[in-house]
Amino acid sequence: MTAYIVRRLFATLPVMAVVAVFVFFLVRFAPGDPAAIIAGEDATADAIAAVRAKLGLDRPMLEQFVIWTLHLLQGDLGVSIFSDLPVSRLIEQRLEPTVALTFSTLFVAVALAIPIGVIAAWKARKLVDRLAMAFAVLGFAMPVFVLAYVLIWLFSVKWGVLPVQGYSPISQGLWPFLEKLILPSVALGVTYMALIARITRASMLEVLAQDYIRTANSKGLATDRVLLLHALKNAAVPIVTVIGIGIALLISGVVITETVFNIPGLGRLTVDAVLKRDYPIVQGLILVFAAGKVLVNLAIDISYAFLDPRIRY
Amino acid sequence: MLHRIVAGALALAVPFAIPAAGHAQEKVLKAVMHADVRVIDPIWTTQTIANIHGMLVYDTLFGNDSDLKPHPQMVGKYEISPDKLVYTFTLRDGLKFHDGSPVTSNDVIPSLRRWAARDGVGGRLFSFVEKLEAIDAKTFRMTLNKPYGMVLESLGKTNSSVPVIMRAQEAATDPQQQVKEAIGSGPFRFAKEQWVPGSKAIYLKNPDYVPRPGNEPASSFAGSKFPGVDRLELIWIPDSQTAMQALIAGEIDFFEAPNIDFLPILSRARGVKLEKTGKLDSTLGMIRLNHLHPPFNNPKARQAMYHLIKQEDFLRAVVGNPEYYKQCFSFFTCGSPLTHPTGIAALKDYNPKKALQLMREAGYNGEPITVLQATDHVTITPATQVLIQAMRDAGLNVDAQSMDWGSVVSRRTKKEPPAQGGWNIFVTTTGGVGSSNPVLHTWLGGTCDKALTGWPCDAKIEELRNAYAFAQTDAEKKAAAMAVDERAAEVVTYVPFGQWSVPIAYRQDRIENVVTNTGLAVLWNIRRK
């Protein structure tokens, strides 16, 4: 296993290198010029050219790439063109909200989805199953922003029990931290809940049709033991895969949810940087996201071995 | 069992939930602005938000009031020589930067020079400055080579870029580079360590700030400044609906730029007040033509565009509610003292057939006209759509190139022909204060290569703008401005399509002393009730 992990970690290096090359050139081939944005509305072409020169954006692209790569190899992601702050600091500022939103969303989604999926499979093709799946389809079909605005109107404006927006770091208190995460986690979690519930049901149905489940039932084992200990554990591989994909998607930013609830996460940082053509931030973020996805995939693969002893690396 | 769980959870939560004692007594103002503070140097960029930041952190020598008249701010006393060539300024007593060092003439001089290197108004002023020298630590002298009449107005300007006074070490920074620190002598200190670009910028009351004596009434940038709260948070909420709900729920106190569609809801919300930003409308719409390439290198083709514009159509699309917009047939902000008294006739003559005829007379034969179409701008996008439709209805061949606003800003700097990555037309907006006189209104400039994108080239309009700057009486100024207005119409420096203003919204049940200003928001005097 250790050799496998080391091998996989080394395999990420060429992936990151390819990502680095692509992202560097793609952002520069895209139309737009940060110097024009900085110089502002009333800037002359000469003023814009002067800003561009000072930022080093007038140098040959290859030269810019070499400079960036040399810094990157020293662990330096560069500084923002606009704020002049290190990209690593900007990412660090946004990491906590994103990680908090990711795990609170998954908590909501998994806590609802697994029971719903298990019950739907247990009561397959009965009313409970149809209601559960109708709920799942509705959750999947409803745009996040619609649910988000409904939740804000109901819980924040009408009843005044939860805040409309914002993020409070956990260092400023547990309740301020939690109360600002409840609505975004529910709004976003419903979509993931629907996805995980459907996968859980499908996977459970397959397992429940196996001979050993029939044997367990005929031995007179309690239903909850059959469902949770025998069936769910064996149905877990696809469920864990979906949850893992969810983590990877959530970590790389959920722009709409972050925007509607004004959570300063990585998703908003990415979109803002793209719109402003803040190249160093875009480059740094894409590299971080790529690394994150590689690591999450690795963690999922490793978890397979624990869930299913037949899987060996 | 349950009560144990609840008790355990409370035991865990309570220590975290108690706010820090230091924050309990603080008076905090939470304001959502039109953009987030990303740049801390108001000279390096002309972005409005950077200048709002600048006016909190730094101070200015003069401040113009809501009638655009300059009043001393950092300056205690000043003298103007009878020939109006020598200005001698003395700083007020007790002015200190946030690091405790005194503000001196040696800080003022490089600050003004750096401003002039980047700002059009400053550049024009300094083209007449022969000498700027320190007399002593608090006194400095500006000697002109001509009796330029806009010295004090320029130093007190209330739109970007504002001539803020920095410490000498920051003022010595290359104007093309951003300063590293925001240490000024203004009413608030920038808490850089708490700054999260794209999310929030925090300002703390400057306890050493010395307001102008005599409790002068506040009017735009003039009057005594009293930092009214201990902590000012500029929060960036990108979604206008969320910002509106946050204001209604009392999570924020001040909302600078609510979406026009939400104004009816805000006007009914308990505790919320809507107020016009200042005496002048905040925004003017303009269609900029490229003077370098056919067909608009021909004045007749440019004049043809006047006859395609029905301002009401544009304003309905951009603003919708007539309460907030007005048609304006002048190149100067309607409502300002220098606006054309009767309106320029050509701007009122909507006649698409005449437009096509003039285009043909200018040699236009159906070649594609490249229009840069921004797709993500709240006002420019609908205005561009109306323009494209009006041009197509008139029989012009429009090549609408869709892109985000950031790309338009970049593309419009290209001087190449449209087929090689250039352009013929883009739509933009400009500020009401900046468009209120011939010197401030840089979009009227006709300095060819040195002019703003579109590059109008007309020596006469520059002469007329200078004539305004040297006019000595109000009557002379008015006559000079009218001549500029009419010449701009003849040359077609741009095609105006009206003006509008979106009110600010704030919690009148929580804050008071809000000073309105067209252009940059004034936040320093606001107090919590």
**Do B334 and B365 have their domain in common?**
yes
Mean pLDDT of A160-186: 95
User: For position B203, which CATH number holds?
Assistant: 3.40.190.10
Q: Is B158 exposed, middle or buried (0-12, 13-18, 19+ CB in 10 A)?
A: buried
Determine the residue of chain A that is closest to B37 in CA distance.
Answer: A83
Distance between CA atoms of residues B465 and B481, nearest Å: 8
Contacts of A277 in chain B (CB under 8 A): 406, 410
- DSSP secondary structure letter of residue B522: B
Q: Which domain holds residue B302?
A: 283-500
**Do B456 and B376 have their domain in common?**
yes
Determine the residue of chain A that is closest to B200 in CA distance.
Answer: A264
Domain end residue (candidates: B121, B138, B171): B171
Residue window 101-130, chain A: list those with CB within 8 Å of chain B: none
Q: Which of the pair, A42 or B16, is modelled with greater confidence?
A: A42
pLDDT > 80? residue A252: no
**Do B335 and B406 have their domain in common?**
yes
Q: For A270-291, what is each residue's pLDDT tens digit?
A: 999 988 889 999 999 999 999 8
**Do B341 and B487 have their domain in common?**
yes
If we measure between CA atoms, which residue out of B277, B283, B315, B285 comes closest to residue B434? B283
Domain count, chain B: 3
Distance between CA atoms of residues B342 and B115, nearest Å: 36
Mean pLDDT of B79-103: 97
**Do B441 and B343 have their domain in common?**
yes
Which residues are registered as beta bridge partners of B527? Answer: B512
Q: For B509-524, what is each residue's pLDDT tens digit?
A: 999 999 988 888 999 9
pLDDT > 90? residue B9: no
A87 touches chain B (CB under 8 A): no
Q: For B219-264, what is each residue's pLDDT tens digit?
A: 999 999 999 999 999 999 999 999 999 999 999 999 999 998 899 9
Given CA atoms A136, A140, A146, A152 in this order, what sign does their dihedral have? positive
Put simply, the answer to whether A165 touches B246 (Cβ < 8 Å) is yes
Q: Structure tokens of B151?
A: 């010295």
**Do B484 and B353 have their domain in common?**
yes
Three-class SS state of B72: strand
Distance between CA atoms of residues A269 and A285, nearest Å: 9
Mean pLDDT of chain B: 92
> At residue B198, what is the residue type?
G
Mean pLDDT of B439-456: 91
Q: Which of the pair, B358 or B12, is modelled with greater confidence?
A: B358
Distance between CA atoms of residues B435 and B149, nearest Å: 18
Q: Which residue has the tokens 């072409």?
A: A45
Instruction: Parse chain A into domains and list their residue ranges.
Output: 2-73, 88-312
ipTM of this complex:
0.84
Determine the residue of chain B that is closest to A176 in CA distance.
Answer: B17
Q: Which of the pair, A191 or B223, is modelled with greater confidence?
A: B223
> At residue A289, what is the residue type?
F
A64 touches chain B (CB under 8 A): no
Residue window 173-192, chain A: list those with CB within 8 Å of chain B: 173-177
Name the band, by pLDDT with cuts 50, 70 and 90, for residue B4.
Answer: very low
Residue count of chain B, please give it: 529
Q: For A105-139, what is each residue's pLDDT tens digit?
A: 999 999 999 999 999 999 999 999 999 989 888 88
Instruction: Count residue pairs from A and B with Cβ separation < 8 A.
Output: 155
Question: A34-43, A282-291, B260-269, B422-431: which has the minimum mean pLDDT?
Answer: A34-43
Domain end residue (candidates: B131, B147, B171): B171
pLDDT > 80? residue A163: yes
Name the band, by pLDDT with cuts 50, 70 and 90, for residue A294.
Answer: confident
pLDDT, residue B43, reads 93
Question: A143-152, A302-311, B104-113, B453-462: which has the minimum mean pLDDT?
Answer: A302-311
Residue count of chain A, please give it: 313
pLDDT, residue B23, reads 52
Distance between CA atoms of residues B29 and B513, nearest Å: 12
Which residues are registered as beta bridge partners of B96? Answer: B102
**Do B206 and B261 have their domain in common?**
yes
Q: Which of the pair, A128 or B11, is modelled with greater confidence?
A: A128
**Do B229 and B317 have their domain in common?**
no
How many angstroms separate the Cα of B461 from the Cα of each of B6, B435, B465? 77, 15, 6
pLDDT > 80? residue B17: no
Q: Structure tokens of B265?
A: 């809801």
Put simply, the answer to whether A32 touches B409 (Cβ < 8 Å) is yes
Q: For B58-70, what is each residue's pLDDT tens digit?
A: 999 999 998 889 9
Q: Which of the pair, A7 or B299, is modelled with greater confidence?
A: B299
Put simply, the answer to whether B46 touches A153 (Cβ < 8 Å) is no
Put simply, the answer to whether B17 touches A48 (Cβ < 8 Å) is no
For domain A88-312, the CATH class is: mainly alpha
Supply the Cα-derived Rg of chain A in whole angstroms. Answer: 24
**Do B266 and B386 have their domain in common?**
no
Put simply, the answer to whether B39 touches A277 (Cβ < 8 Å) is no
Put simply, the answer to whether A40 touches B238 (Cβ < 8 Å) is no
pLDDT > 80? residue B7: no
**pTM as predicted:** 0.86
pLDDT > 70? residue A200: yes
Determine the residue of chain A that is closest to B408 in CA distance.
Answer: A32
Mean pLDDT of B282-287: 95
Residue window 426-455, chain B: list those with CB within 8 Å of chain A: 428, 430, 434, 442-443, 449-453
Given CA atoms A18, A24, A25, A30 in this order, what sign does their dihedral have? positive
Listed ranges A29-33, A225-229, B33-37; the one with the highest mean pLDDT:
B33-37
Mean pLDDT of B175-181: 91
E strand or H helix that includes residue A94:
helix A87-122
pLDDT, residue B449, reads 87
Distance between CA atoms of residues B279 and B336, nearest Å: 8
Mean pLDDT of A1-26: 87
* Angle, alpha carbons B208-B212-B215 (nearest 5°): 110
Which residues are registered as beta bridge partners of A44? Answer: B452
Closest partner CB to A50 (pick from B176, B404, B443): B176
For β-strands B70-72 and B272-275, DSSP reports them as: unpaired
d(CA B334, nearest CA chain A) in Å:
21
Mean pLDDT of chain A: 90
Give the side-chain half-sphere CA count within 13 A for B222. 17
d(CA B444, nearest CA chain A) in Å:
11
Put simply, the answer to whether A39 touches B249 (Cβ < 8 Å) is no
d(CA A21, nearest CA chain B) in Å:
23
User: For position B367, which CATH number holds?
Assistant: 3.10.105.10
B197 touches chain A (CB under 8 A): yes
Name the band, by pLDDT with cuts 50, 70 and 90, for residue B14.
Answer: very low
pLDDT, residue A52, reads 86
**Do B66 and B124 have their domain in common?**
yes
pLDDT, residue B463, reads 94
**Do B34 and B82 have their domain in common?**
no
Distance between CA atoms of residues A179 and B401, nearest Å: 45
pLDDT, residue B397, reads 97
Q: For A39-94, what is each residue's pLDDT tens digit?
A: 777 777 788 888 888 888 889 999 999 999 999 999 999 999 999 999 999 999 99
**Do B325 and B379 have their domain in common?**
yes
Q: Structure tokens of A306?
A: 């624990």
B194 touches chain A (CB under 8 A): no
